[in-house]
Structure 1
Amino acid sequence: MSPSSSSGDVFSPSEEQMNFAGDLAYACTIPGTIVCALALVAYAVVASYPHARKHLDRVSFRILVQALISNIFYGIAFAVTPMHPGNGCDFGAFAINLTLCLATFYTTCIAINLQLVLVHEVNGKMLEKYYIIVTVVLSLALNVPTYALGQFGWNALSETCWYSNDDKRKRLQWIIATQSFWISLAALTETVCSVIVLYWLYRFKRSIHSITRNATPSGRMASSDYPPRTSIALNRDPRFRKIVLRIALYPMVSLLLNISTVALDLNMSLHELRSRLDYYLLVIDLFMYGIRTFAYGALAFGDPSFINGIQEILSRRRTRSAESNLTNLDFANTEITTHGGDRIEVDVELQHISTGSDVTQSKCTTIGTLGSVDDVKTFSPSQGGHQRPFQRKYGQLSQEEEHMISIGRQL
């Protein structure tokens, strides 16, 4: 780096240094955009399997898809925006800020939906359209007037396409009013919602034993507990707690990325590039803007709905492979054998008992694969024989389980 000519001179980074900062941002953005695109392709592949598609039927997952699409367009806009003044620079700055707002607000909606569904027991599916409408309208309201009034363009300080007003004070006002305030508010909202949900989970975990003590001797909740509350339904299946904790990673990443970039943007607008430290902070700022697509793309591959869909596909493939090797076996049917000249009817039934930490549930299975209620064959007394245990237990599908499925689709 070239030192200042004297102690009183303002630090001025060289052209090579500024090119390095821009190239670093591009180098981080392009791989992240590819990762987001691959995540969407993987989602489409899983959704092409009817049995796996049901796992993707969740409000937060659909919002996540919208966020990924926004991140892809953000990465494209970031990569193709020219590094020189012109109409392309003006529109590129508009596109970057618009898609940045869309992606940020969508992830905020995921955190808000978690709190509303789990803590306040609001129907998330009813609010889904409002999440999308508010996100799109707010993003357009913040960026379209800014672009129309010529506030986007070449920023001589950072040598990037950003807010371009030559008046330092007015430029700072536009940055705060149309970007920094709203991005910070979204990140803080995500954090608050996540903390509330995690605290609710902590209290829920401590209340499991008290809920169990309120159960009737038959193991079912008293009639006064119906319709079952969210906490009771979640107690039936701890997988939902894992889903909540993994979705909470999005607000954590958003807080790190968004608050950091807002602080660095304001620092550059206030202090400009007067020292080497300011230049280093600019490099970090551009790096944070570039890495966000990779961060969200990586998180998308760990989404619980996506993983459950893959497990469903693999499970059914293993089942078909196992059944092809056991074509001579006929489970849950009557076999006729002879013993000492007498005919003996023998019922062979394969039943799998799954025992969890909260509840023991009987499930019918063939070669280790859980069946569904629709898969159970019903035998009437007129057909002979008595109703088998797994048939009786499937007939007792509880309201808690039905409510639990509904909650999963609202998350």
Structure 2
Amino acid sequence: MSDEDYFEITDKEIDMADVLTYACTIPGTVVCGLVLMAYGITALSPIARKCFDRVSFRLLVYSLLFNVLFGIVYAATPTHPIAGCDVGAFLVNTTLCFATFFTTCIAINLQLVLVHGVNGQKLEKYYLLGVIILSLALNVPTMVLHQFGWNELSATCWYSNPDDKARLRWIIGTQSFWISLAATIETICSSVVLFWMYLFHRDITALNRASESTVGKHECTKYTKRTTNSNRSAMLTDDPRYKKIILRIVSLLMNYSTVILDLNMSINSVTTQLDFRLLVLDLILYGLRTLAYGVLAAGDPVRKLLPRLDLRLIRSIHVFQSFMNAIREIRGSRQSSTAVHTHITNIAFASRKPGSLQSESTTQTSEGGKVMELHLRFQDEHGSEGTTTKIVSSGGRVDLEMSRSEEDEDEIQKLARQL
């Protein structure tokens, strides 16, 4: 037999693993704490509070808070079989579940609001109740049935059932399966939102090209647009929701890696030097998760997360369509005034369902100045709102101005709070 058949973790190796765990856990806990403090200081501003009044932001704060608690209890959990080992394992697993599930809820909420048009504010209480109930249901019975304690295989406070098969069932049933499921759902939802954003961006780009092509056919030598929706395509491609997929990928890799390493240790035990190194890697990844989430949360510009771009871009579709009809009417008008009624259907909105919005525009031209005003009214199941667009054509120059009513701004803020 080789020496590896008699491998045993020494006290020196355990101490080394403890030092590495502390070195990885403490920085992440500090970063998450600093991010929360920065949020709190920024929230003192009334303007910032409006930006923070969003479902996803509150879920992010909950996740960061439990990441801080996870880092604290993970570092404070006993590293030897002493009293309090079971409590430490219980707190580590519970805070881990809370932090993971709240992050998953962010991705679920984004898909439900953006893709399916669901009111996120109405779902917020269900997110909270679901996370609380599931996290406690997975860990309280485990604690009551004395499944937490000192684990001889990993030399840590964890699942302590002496029966290998029973311990493995507890690990899979109360931790590994649910962490893996949460990471999978998080990744799928984020991918769906990313694909939806791609389709939406493609629609806007196509409309921009169509409008430029049509204006060119009418020999407009200079074309300017003065509107609150400037640089629409650029703003969409810079939207942080594209970048938030990075958070989901990191979360997926972190959670899957720890689950696989946990199961490997439970099934194969720690019988070789390689197994011990994988165990140390597992402990390091648990410590690094707080740092990863803290850095990503700190680098996510909350002020840009407001979904105003979505609603403005949706309206720009109607403005472009009506604008092009108006240009055709100006170029084709004779001595008399004309009236044009345009019905635009099958415009994509949050759910991307055909016919969810309809725009009606009425155009009027004057003989001398060629001035046209567009009164746009957008209708959906929640009511109607409108914008007024003014087009001035003179000497080959076409100017476009668009204004929104206070009701429009209220609706934008309402949609922002749902995300």
If the length of structure 1 is used for normalisation, what is the TM-score? 0.70
Q: Which residue of 1 aligns with 2:66?
A: 70
Question: Which protein is richer in strand relative to its size?
Answer: 2
Whether the 8 Å CA contact 2:21–2:283 is kept in 1: the answer is: yes
Whether the 8 Å CA contact 1:114–1:244 is kept in 2: the answer is: no
Separation (CA, whole Å) in 1 of partners of 2:3 and 2:181: 40
Separation (CA, whole Å) in 1 of partners of 2:54 and 2:245: 15
Choose from 9, 16, 20 the match for 2:12: 16
Pick closer, same or farther for the CA change 1:236–1:9 going to 2, 3 Å: closer
More RCO (CA 8 Å, sep 6+): 1
Choose from 137, 160, 174 the match for 2:170: 174
Deviations 1:149-180 (A, max 9, x none): 00000001110000000000000000000000
Separation (CA, whole Å) in 2 of partners of 1:46 and 1:409: 18
Please give the secondary structure, in 2, of the residue aligned with 1:165.
Answer: coil
Separation (CA, whole Å) in 2 of partners of 1:116 and 1:204: 16
Please give the secondary structure, in 2, of the residue aligned with 1:154.
Answer: strand
Unmatched tracts of structure 1, length 5 or more: 216-231, 310-356, 361-389
Count of residue pairs brought into register by the alignment: 318
Amino acid at match of 2:178: W
Q: Which residue of 1 aligns with 2:97?
A: 101
Amino acid at match of 2:264: N
Separation (CA, whole Å) in 1 of partners of 2:4 and 2:285: 31
Separation (CA, whole Å) in 2 of partners of 1:148 and 1:199: 44
Deviations 1:280-327 (A, max 9, x none): 111110000000111111111122225789xxxxxxxxxxxxxxxxxx
Amino acid at match of 1:251: R
Whether the 8 Å CA contact 1:201–1:241 is kept in 2: the answer is: no
1:186 and 2:182 aligned: yes
Please give the secondary structure, in 2, of the residue aligned with 1:248.
Answer: helix
Q: Which residue of 2 aligns with 1:203?
A: 199
Separation (CA, whole Å) in 2 of partners of 1:240 and 1:119: 17
Whether the 8 Å CA contact 1:183–1:262 is kept in 2: the answer is: yes
Choose from 135, 147, 154 the match for 2:150: 154
Deviation at 1:194, TM superposition (A): 1.1
Which range is displaced more, 247-256 or 260-269? 247-256
Deviation at 1:58, TM superposition (A): 1.2
Please give the secondary structure, in 1, of the residue aligned with 2:161.
Answer: coil
Q: How does 1:213-232 map to 2 (within 5 A)?
A: none
Pick closer, same or farther for the CA change 1:240–1:209 going to 2, 3 Å: closer
Q: Which residue of 2 aligns with 1:253?
A: 250
1:291 and 2:288 aligned: yes
Whether the 8 Å CA contact 1:107–1:250 is kept in 2: the answer is: no
Amino acid at match of 2:179: I
Separation (CA, whole Å) in 1 of partners of 2:299 and 2:277: 33
Amino acid at match of 2:405: L
| Percent identical residues | 53
Q: Which residue of 2 aligns with 1:225?
A: none
Amino acid at match of 2:116: H
Whether the 8 Å CA contact 1:43–1:306 is kept in 2: the answer is: no
Whether the 8 Å CA contact 1:119–1:200 is kept in 2: the answer is: yes
Q: Which residue of 1 aligns with 2:397?
A: none
Please give the secondary structure, in 2, of the residue aligned with 1:166.
Answer: coil
If the length of structure 2 is used for normalisation, what is the TM-score? 0.69
Separation (CA, whole Å) in 1 of partners of 2:406 and 2:236: 18
Separation (CA, whole Å) in 1 of partners of 2:181 and 2:13: 33
Deviation at 1:250, TM superposition (A): 2.5
Amino acid at match of 1:253: V
Q: Which residue of 2 aligns with 1:409?
A: 417
Whether the 8 Å CA contact 2:183–2:256 is kept in 1: the answer is: yes
Pick closer, same or farther for the CA change 1:154–1:298 going to 2, 3 Å: same
Please give the secondary structure, in 1, of the residue aligned with 2:150.
Answer: strand
Q: How does 1:23-42 map to 2 (within 5 A)?
A: 23-42=19-38
Whether the 8 Å CA contact 1:29–1:79 is kept in 2: the answer is: yes
Separation (CA, whole Å) in 1 of partners of 2:305 and 2:208: 28
Q: Which residue of 2 aligns with 1:382?
A: none
Separation (CA, whole Å) in 1 of partners of 2:236 and 2:417: 14
Q: How does 1:372-411 map to 2 (within 5 A)?
A: 396-397=404-405, 402-411=410-419
Separation (CA, whole Å) in 2 of partners of 1:211 and 1:91: 60
Deviation at 1:127, TM superposition (A): 0.7
Q: Which residue of 2 aligns with 1:333?
A: none
Deviations 1:23-62 (A, max 9, x none): 2111111111111111111001100011222111111110
Deviation at 1:201, TM superposition (A): 1.3
CA RMSD of aligned residues (A): 3.3
Deviations 1:324-383 (A, max 9, x none): xxxxxxxxxxxxxxxxxxxxxxxxxxxxxxxxx9989xxxxxxxxxxxxxxxxxxxxxxx
Whether the 8 Å CA contact 1:102–1:135 is kept in 2: the answer is: yes
1:119 and 2:115 aligned: yes
Deviations 1:379-401 (A, max 9, x none): xxxxxxxxxxx9x9786338766
1:56 and 2:52 aligned: yes
Which range is displaced more, 288-297 or 198-207? 198-207
Q: Which residue of 2 aligns with 1:244?
A: 241
Separation (CA, whole Å) in 1 of partners of 2:236 and 2:195: 18
Please give the secondary structure, in 2, of the residue aligned with 1:198.
Answer: helix
Q: Which residue of 2 aligns with 1:136?
A: 132
Whether the 8 Å CA contact 2:205–2:233 is kept in 1: the answer is: no
Please give the secondary structure, in 2, of the residue aligned with 1:162.
Answer: strand
Deviation at 1:408, TM superposition (A): 2.3
Please give the secondary structure, in 1, of the residue aligned with 2:157.
Answer: strand
Pick closer, same or farther for the CA change 1:235–1:404 going to 2, 3 Å: farther
Separation (CA, whole Å) in 2 of partners of 1:301 and 1:399: 33
